[in-house]
Amino acid sequence: MAKKIRLSFDDGPKPVPALTKILKILDDNHVVADFYVNGVEMEDAAGKAGAQAIHAGHHKVENHAFHHIKLSPLPIETLREEVKKNQKIIKDTVGVLPTRLRPPYGDGMWTNPKDPELLQVAREENLTITLWQVDTEDWKVPMADKWDWVMGEVKKRATKDLNDVLMHVLETTARDLPELITRLKGEGYEFG
């Protein structure tokens, strides 16, 4: 069975110019992806249009909290507001409620036990908390400057199931995305 990859892009929908390029590349390659968005970037017309373009491209618009902040230090009322307010603006903008929550930085999911208030709010909102298998750290160093490392991470972290490869809505990532897709296909990965 072919190994499966799922591409995910965090921190959108802005900047919209980078998003637009990413959506075009995905479309050209017949790849669907997940976009974990922050509602604070969807309050104006440009951000709303960005979210709608993601949805129109048959990609998923998922919840990355309303603001890009750590959720676990928040009192539960504020944490709930961060999640619910983002559910609402996404539903109001694209017409579909997210089913997945990726807390910014994965915060609250690295401790043992995981943050109980985060788990509770996710349960209340029928959200599955979804992290990633492969972190490209594209925000730190563009992928084109470290292909060996990126592909090494893919091979090292890959599981038998779906492998979520985390990127961000960035100009450099838009530039490097065609080569990433080519390299993943070259390694025999399929996109699921």
Query: Shortest Cβ distance from residue 103 to Zn ion (Å)?
Result: 9
- Looking at beta carbons only, is 3 or 103 nearer to Zn ion? 103
Q: Does 10 bind Zn ion (CB under 5 A)?
A: yes
Q: Does 115 bind Zn ion (CB under 5 A)?
A: no
- Looking at beta carbons only, is 31 or 169 nearer to Zn ion? 169
Q: What angle do CA 179, 168, 122 make, to 5 degrees?
A: 135
Query: Shortest Cβ distance from residue 3 to Zn ion (Å)?
Result: 25
Please classify residue 144 by burial: count the beta carbons closer than 10 Å to its beta carbon, then call 0-12 exposed, 13-18 middle and 19+ buried. Answer: middle
CB 92 within 8 A of CB 55: no
Beta strands in the chain (DSSP E): 4-12, 34-37, 60-63, 100-101, 128-129, 134-135, 162-168, 190-191
- Looking at beta carbons only, is 3 or 11 nearer to Zn ion? 11
Q: Does 138 bind Zn ion (CB under 5 A)?
A: no
Stretch that binds Zn ion, among 49-57, 69-77, 100-108, 175-183 (CB under 5 A): 100-108
Among 15, 39, 47, 104, interactor with Zn ion by CB under 5 A: 104
Nearest residue to 165 (alpha-carbon basis) of 8, 4, 17: 8
Cβ atoms within 10 Å of 30's Cβ, excluding its own: 7
Query: Shortest Cβ distance from residue 64 to Zn ion (Å)?
Result: 6
Q: Does 11 bind Zn ion (CB under 5 A)?
A: yes
The site for Zn ion (CB under 5 A) is made up of 10-11, 104
